[in-house]
Amino acid sequence: MIIAIDGPAASGKGTLSRLVAEHFRLAWLDTGSLYRAVGLKMLRNGDDPADREAAEKAAKSLNPNELTNSELKTEVVGLAASKVAAIPEVRQALVGFQRSFAQTPPGGAQGAVLDGRDIGTVVCPDADFKVYVTASPEARAHRRFLELRDKGDTVTEQEVLAMTRERDARDTNRGESPLKTAEDAYLLDTTNLSIDAAFAALKVYISGSSN
């Protein structure tokens, strides 16, 4: 079973994907971590994240132990990720890993949950279930601000909102695999939903029951 969960930054898709994976005992891949890891590598090397050749090289040399660094979660790395993610060669270098994770999930799991921007449209167009999680930019920026503040980050809510809007615009308008709702996706707007309520709705969509 393959479940594709797409949506813009801080829509709740990461938390929901983790909960869905735990509940249905599936492997989970946060595909944003791949683009973030490439972005972080570029920043560390002093490269411009929009440099196509350097970004392709960084994507091709990515290894799994680079996907767990706590620095990946910062907004600065998120912005760099959205720049490398607009480069077709980077996406091509990363799609194989994502598809083989979906087809042959690690740990003998019977399926996988992948969350990102293009999972239901490009990476796994034949996924059994497709979800598009969204929320207003203000609600998403507020959530991300609280998350970052808890981690000791001093970024302001206004700055987070500006970076969220910049990332949304780049992710939606890029030529290669832009962020968009798959035609057959279940649309979940979490602006006024708690995580518990959103998770309950997803369980009903996937299994017909909220238990």
Cα angle 58, 60, 66 (rounded to 5 degrees) comes to 65
Tell me: does residue 120 bind ligand CDP (CB under 6 A): no
Rounded to the nearest 10°, the torsion over CA 180, 4, 162, 145 is 160
Give the residue with the Cβ less far from ligand CDP, 172 or 207.
172
Alpha-helical segments (H) within the chain: 13-24, 32-44, 52-60, 75-84, 88-103, 137-150, 157-173, 195-207
User: Which member of 4, 5, 12, 14 binds ligand CDP (CB under 6 A)?
Assistant: 14
**What element of type H or E holds 180?**
none
Binding mask 75-104 for ligand CDP (x = CB under 6 A): ---x--xx--x-------------------
User: Which member of 41, 57, 117, 130 binds ligand CDP (CB under 6 A)?
Assistant: 117
User: Which member of 20, 26, 35, 132 binds ligand CDP (CB under 6 A)?
Assistant: 35
The set of residues, in sequence order, having a beta carbon less than 8 Å from that of 76 and lying 6+ positions away, is 43
User: Which member of 5, 20, 26, 31 binds ligand CDP (CB under 6 A)?
Assistant: 31
User: SS3 of 79, please?
Assistant: helix
Tell me: does residue 167 bind ligand CDP (CB under 6 A): yes
Rounded to the nearest 10°, the torsion over CA 172, 116, 133, 174 is 0
Backbone angles phi, psi at 35, to 5 degrees: -70, -35
Tell me: does residue 56 bind ligand CDP (CB under 6 A): no
User: How many residues interact with ligand CDP (rule CB under 6 A)?
Assistant: 16
Tell me: does residue 12 bind ligand CDP (CB under 6 A): no
Give the residue with the Cβ less far from ligand CDP, 117 or 130.
117
Q: Which residues bind ligand CDP (CB under 6 A)?
A: 9-10, 14, 31-32, 35-36, 78, 81-82, 85, 116-118, 167, 171
